[in-house]
Amino acid sequence: MKNRPDSEKSTRHRGNEAEETAAAYLEAKGWLILDRNYSFQKAEVDIVATDRNYIIFVEVKMRSSVRYGQPEQAVTPAKEKQIRKAAEAWIYERKMETAVSRFDVISIVMHQNEAPRITHFEDAFR
């Protein structure tokens, strides 16, 4: 096993922390988390949840500062395409082709020693 640089471990840890924060936020809203970190080939979706009649595929983006832009700005058209690919596979595997779905983005800014600032973009892309 390769030793990873501390910065990479730190980045992975921060990503997991952001996803935990987002999942807790969604559960507090009454959503049910169906899956986390689902991947298909090289495509991945962070959180799969349901709220009433929707299956919602959630991309979580976190930054510790907005110096270089808001976290949600990192959801590029190429990233959207990869999320859609993973979502299609998730739906197909579960034989849920008739389910109504959408794509949300949760943006989190985590400044040290401050509560995270969470912004939820519902139906962020199609």
Domain chopping of the chain, boundaries: 6-125
For 44-100, the pLDDT digits (tens) are 999 999 998 899 999 999 998 889 899 999 999 999 999 999 999 999 999 998 999
Which residue type occupies 56? Answer: I
Q: Report the alpha-carbon angle 44-13-35, nearest 5.
A: 35
Burial class (CB in 10 A: 0-12, 13-18, 19+), 49: buried
CATH topology assigned to domain 6-125: Trna Endonuclease; Chain: A, domain 1 (3.40.1350)
Average pLDDT, the chain: 90
Coil/strand/helix, residue 24: helix
Q: Which secondary-structure segment (H or E) carries 109?
A: strand 100-109
Q: What is the pTM of this model?
A: 0.88
Q: Which residue has the tokens 């739906």?
A: 91
Other CB atoms within a 10 A radius of the CB of residue 89 amount to: 16
